[in-house]
């Protein structure tokens, strides 16, 4: 048994040794539990989570659902550090009620997600998936794709990831549109971004890229009516959150030829498992390029987010305030 006075439990996969050493050098005992076969921190039951967290002072969490009943069962726990920036699976009211500090790993994965966003744009437009399938099938038929170069790209939401996407898109000589609740006009002028309303953005864009947070008011931000506003040969890219798009409506638009294609890293079935069959239909379409919510999952991106989460844990357990932009509640 470790003689260190405080402990941290790390439940996400792919937690690197360098960050574990950092935590240990900060005088913390580190536990990386083995879940039962076929389970991970997203699918583990509340009882399984309680079993591994009962003596933890801090928890570095991946995709677990964090509820009031879970937190009430963990009186020793002080800090919950999300490896990532989305915290919709954490009941923040419950965290406040039970006196926990919740942090996110701001700045860790934005470059990786921005890279994936451009990869999906280019893959969908250039019909990479369809072209490879032609080679697999032995036909080698040449399919005519579309350029990203000199096109109009509409960005919905203007946080860190979106700004990194915009920085990359400048190299493609794109016309850049953005819609956001709080336009930063100095930024827009410096980057050549035109602020427009959502409907105008949808009507003018050749590519629409989603980077808005998922909230009750942004659920189905892209619905059947708004899909109908988009150009028939345009592409919808979602590396934001499942639920921003009505995936059933998107499936209909794609099957009926009302969109050029889509690049998707997130799906509505992540928040509504009853829609898993819709997800399966979407990813089978030849003009859909899809990845399993893995845009942040690069070796480099995971090392960065691991490090930020670890620093947040050390700050909280040492009685310090974590970085302001990483602190969600508590402190």
Q: Write down the pLDDT at residue 11.
A: 98
2 pLDDT exceeds 60? no
Tokens 């096109």 appear where?
151
Distances in Å between the Cα of 136 and the Cα atoms of 36, 119, 133, 286, 289 are: 37, 21, 5, 14, 17
Residue 190 tokens, joined: 């410096």
**Domains, the chain, with CATH or none:** 6-108+298-329 (3.40.50.720), 110-290 (3.40.50.720)
* pLDDT above 80: residue 324: yes
Question: pLDDT (tens digit, 9 = 90+) per residue, 156-173?
Answer: 999 999 999 999 999 999
Q: Report the half-sphere exposure of 37 (CA within 13 A, side-chain side).
A: 0
What is the per-residue pLDDT for 153? 99
Does residue 331 carry a pLDDT above 80?
no
Coil, strand or helix: which one is 304?
A: helix
Summarize pLDDT for 71-99 with one digit per residue, the tens: 999 999 999 999 999 898 999 999 999 99
SS3 29: strand
Residues in contact with 225: Cβ distance below 8 Å, sequence separation at least 6, in sequence order: none
Can you read off the two tokens belonging to residue 75? Answer: 């009186």
Tell me the pLDDT tens digit for each residue of 20-43: 999 999 999 999 999 888 888 999
3-state class (DSSP) for residue 46? helix
Model confidence pLDDT, tens digit, residues 245-284: 999 999 999 999 999 999 999 999 998 999 999 999 999 9
Sign of CA dihedral 46, 52, 58, 61: negative
What sign does the dihedral 71-74-77-78 (CA atoms) show? positive
The C-alpha atoms of residue 96 and residue 8 are separated, in whole angstroms, by 20
E strand intervals along the chain:
6-10, 28-31, 58-61, 79-82, 101-103, 152-156, 175-179, 193-195, 207-210, 235-238, 261-264, 288-290, 327-329
Q: How confident is the model at residue 56 (pLDDT cuts 50, 70, 90)?
A: very high
Residue 1, pLDDT > 80, answer no
Sign of CA dihedral 121, 179, 112, 86: negative
Residue 309 CB burial class (10 angstroms; 0-12, 13-18, ≥19): buried
Q: How confident is the model at residue 3 (pLDDT cuts 50, 70, 90)?
A: low
Q: Give the catalytic positions in this structure.
A: 241, 270, 293
């Amino acid at each position: 048994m470790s003689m260190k006075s405080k402990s941290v439990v790390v439940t996400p996969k792919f937690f690197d040794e360098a960050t574990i050493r950092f935590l240990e050098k900060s005088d913390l005992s580190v536990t990386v539990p083995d879940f039962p076969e076929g389970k991970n921190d997203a699918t583990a039951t509340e009882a399984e989570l309680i079993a591994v967290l009962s003596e933890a002072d801090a928890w570095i969490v991946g995709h677990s659902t964090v509820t009031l009943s879970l937190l009430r069962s963990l009186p020793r726990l002080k800090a919950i550090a999300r490896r990532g920036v989305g915290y919709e699976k954490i009941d923040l009211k419950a965290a406040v009620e039970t006196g926990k500090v919740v942090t996110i790993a701001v700045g860790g994965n934005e470059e990786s997600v921005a890279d994936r966003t451009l990869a999906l744009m280019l893959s969908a437009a250039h019909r990479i998936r369809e072209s490879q399938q032609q080679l697999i099938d032995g036909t080698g038929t040449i399919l005519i794709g579309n350029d990203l170069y000199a096109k109009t790209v509409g960005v919905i939401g203007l946080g860190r990831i979106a700004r990194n996407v915009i920085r990359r898109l400048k190299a493609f000589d794109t016309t850049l549109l953005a819609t956001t609740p709080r336009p930063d006009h100095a930024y827009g002028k410096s980057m050549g971004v035109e602020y427009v309303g959502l409907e105008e953005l949808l009507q003018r864009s050749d590519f629409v890229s989603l980077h808005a947070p998922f909230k009750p008011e942004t659920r189905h931000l892209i619905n059947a009516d708004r899909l109908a506003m988009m150009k028939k040969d345009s592409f919808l890219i979602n590396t934001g959150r499942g639920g921003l798009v009505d995936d059933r409506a998107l499936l209909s638009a794609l099957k009926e030829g009302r969109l050029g294609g889509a690049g998707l890293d997130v799906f509505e079935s992540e928040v509504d498992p009853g829609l898993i069959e819709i997800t399966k239909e979407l990813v089978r379409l030849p003009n859909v390029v899809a990845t399993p919510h893995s845009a942040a999952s690069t070796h480099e991106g995971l090392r960065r987010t691991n490090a930020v989460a670890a620093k947040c844990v050390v700050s909280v357990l040492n009685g310090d305030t974590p970085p302001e932009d990483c602190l969600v509640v508590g402190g």
